[in-house]
Each structure stands twice: as C-alpha cells, then as structure tokens.
Amino acid sequence: MDKRKGMKTILTIALLAGTGLLLFGVQNNLDSFQIRILNLAAIYTILGLSMNLVIGFTGMFSLGHSGFMCVGAYTAAILTMSPASKELIYYMEPINPILAQIQWPVFPAILAAGLVAAIFGLLVGIPALRLRDDYLAIATLGFAEIIRIVVTNTISITNGSLGLKNIPSIRSIWVYWGCAIITIIILKRIINSSWGYAFKAIRDNEIAAEAMGISIFKHKLLSFTIGAFFAGVAGALMGFIITSIDPTMFRFLFTFQILLIVVLGGMGSLTGTVISAIVITIMMEVLRFVEGPINLLGIISIPGLPGMRMVIFSLGLLMVILFYRQGLMGTREFNWDWLLKWFGRSKSVERGDSI
C-alpha cells in the first residue's frame, strides 16, 4: 500500500516534470501564433474547471461565468496598465484619480482579479443561490448581464464602451499554463476533500445532504465563490493575451462556449474538462477553413460564412447529448491506479515516465 503511494508520488512528479519540459519545448520551438493558441487553451482550461466545479460537482446550473470573467479582466487591466497609457485612453471622462496612479506587477494583479471576482460572486450568490435549476440559470444569466451593463456605464473606472487598450501583453506560456496547473491542483484537492464530497452530496441529493448536517446555502455559496474566483483569474489572463478588452466581449455567448467545454468533457470530471478545453481551443483554430468558401465537386458551393465553426460545434454537442450524454469522461478522473492496472503489475515507473 505504502509502496504504491510512493510510486504514485514519483509518477506525479514525473508528470509535472514532463509537462514542464513539454512547455519548455513549446516555448522555444513553436511560433508566436501557435503559442498564443496554447495559452488560450490554458485560459479555457481554467474557465472550464471553474464552471465544472459549480455545474458538474455542485449541481448548480449557473450561467454567470462571463460576468465574473469581465470583472476579473477589468480589475487586472486597470491594476497593471501604466499611468501614461491610462491618461491616453480615458478621454471621454478622466479616470478616477486613485486608480490613475496604480501600477501593479502581474501576479498580484491576477490574484486581485480573482478576489474581486470572488466578492462579486458572493454578492450575486447570496440572493441567486436561493433558486435552483433553470431559475438559477436565468437569475445568474441576468446578473452577468447586469455586471456587464454596470461596467459599460461606470466610465470613470472602466472607460465605458470604449474599453481598455494597451494592457501589458504577456506572451510567456509559463504564466498561462502555470496558472492553469495551479488551478488544476487546487481544484483537485478541493474535490477530493471533505468539502468536495459535501458539494457532490448536494448535487446527488440535496434533501439528504441537508439532513446529514451539510449547510446547503453555505456550501453552495462557497462553491459558487470559488468558481467566480477562478473565472476572474481567467478573465485577467484573457486581458493579458488580447491586450484590449471591452464589455461586448463578455456576452452570454462566451459562457456558452465554456459550457460546451464542460459538457463535452463530462460534467463532474476535471480530467475531461482539461482534455476538452485543449481540444476545443485547438479545433476552433483548425476549423477556421470551413468559414471560407466551400466548393464540393462543383455540386454544392457555399460562400464564406463566418460562424460556420460554431455550427460544427453545435452539431458535436447535439451528438454528445443524444448518444453519449455523460461526455468524454463522465465523472471519471485520470488516476495512477487505473494506469498501473492498465500496464499490469509490472514495474511501471519507467513506463509511467513516458506517458
């Protein structure tokens, strides 16, 4: 038993080291466009994981993710932009003097983005989490829109509908995937802790969970706030990758994309979300060709239609819901026991290394 545990620790360290090496290779060998796509995959991983915690593990059908992302993106952007570029951008209405002078380093700003989004999560959660199912979905959707409208209209803080430009650009894959890996580790630990089981108990049977002494409201709020925190972190990273943000970015469609990742990966599986976030982000780019003019043997010809990619994803989603409802992984998780069993009981340390 102990020996197995030791081996698993070694395997985990090997996996982390392998990922590190892979990222190192990617950083040095791929072009900046490819790196950008992989960074985007890291952001979608964080978003998918945080949404899966709320929807897949705690069973709350919340659609407010884009709102919390919006809060995080603005917080990080305002905190990291230089005073000079702020002066330049806020020409409609001068920026709030307290914010004008602030310029934080990147990591504290990312953390602050998460925390501010978490505070919004708390404020939205307190009234909204008294609802459940579709009512909760509608309410959170509404709150996300409210957040967006407020951001559009608090011009002295957010520069309104003009948005923010000249956000410091970060290209390093380490920042994005570092955040993603930390998110994976923290969420995995939460899911496997007593709290994670409490969340799952609420998802499985709310009445029984409450009768076993779990405070439903407190735990739902906790899960929702953690979800908002990581959505905020992802929003901050989104700002650093695009370098300009405006309120229209954070429409409902954005939430839907994340939902797509969660559903395809499997509601209630962190592994599934990570895989599907990476695959879907890459597919989004690979499938760009379908938006150009298509000519099938001269029989059918379709002029270039922007949005054709989403048709393919919608069909994919339809297929999954009709024929493979649990998604890629269902509620299963990747774990070493499973892998070790796969390879038989032979010494699998070296083999495990190559996975």
Partner 1 sequence: MNEKILTTDHISMEFGGLRAVSDFSLEIAPGEIVGLIGPNGAGKTTVFNMITGVYTPTSGKIFFKDRDITGLKTDRITSLGIARTFQNIRLFESMSVLENVMISKHLRLKANLAEAVMNLPRYRHARQQHYDECMELLKKVQLDRLVNEKATSLPYGKQRRLEIVRALATEPAILLLDEPAAGMNPNESMELMDFIAQLREEFKLTVLMIEHHMEVVMGICERIYVLDYGVALADGNPAEIQNNPAVIEAYLGAVELDA
Interaction site with partner 1 (CB under 8 A) = 186, 189-190, 193-195, 197-198, 200-201, 203-205, 207-216, 222, 268, 331
Choice between 145 and 210, CB closer to partner 1: 210
Closest CB to partner 1 among residues 90, 199: 199
The structure tokens listed for 257 are 């994309």
Q: Give min distance, CB of 138 to partner 1, in A.
A: 26
**Which of residues 213 and 303 has its CB atom nearest to partner 1 in the complex?**
213
Query: CB 204 → partner 1: shortest distance, Å?
Result: 4
Give the 3-state secondary structure of 128-149: HCCCCHHHHHHHHHHHHHHHHH
CA separation for the pair 65, 254 (Å, rounded):
8
Number of H helices, E strands in the chain: 17, 2
State the minimum distance, in angstroms, from the CB of residue 327 to partner 1: 14
Can you tell me the distance from the alpha carbon of 200 to that of 193, in angstroms, rounded to the nearest whole number?
11
Rounded-to-integer distance, Cα 61 and Cα 205, Å: 15
The residues near 310 (Cβ < 8 Å, ≥ 6 apart) are none
Min dist CB 62 to partner 1, Å, is: 20
Tell me how far the alpha carbon of residue 131 is from its chain's centroid.
24
Q: Which is nearer to partner 1, 173 or 198 (CB)?
A: 198
Nearest residue (CB) to partner 1, 198 versus 228: 198
Nearer to partner 1, 42 or 209 (CB): 209
The C-alpha atoms of residue 308 and residue 119 are separated, in whole angstroms, by 37
Q: Give dist(CA 255, CA 67) in Å, integer.
A: 9
CB of 313 to partner 1, least distance (A): 28
Around 240, how many Cα atoms within 13 Å sit in the side-chain half-sphere? 28
Least distance from partner 1 to the Cβ atom of residue 332, Å = 11
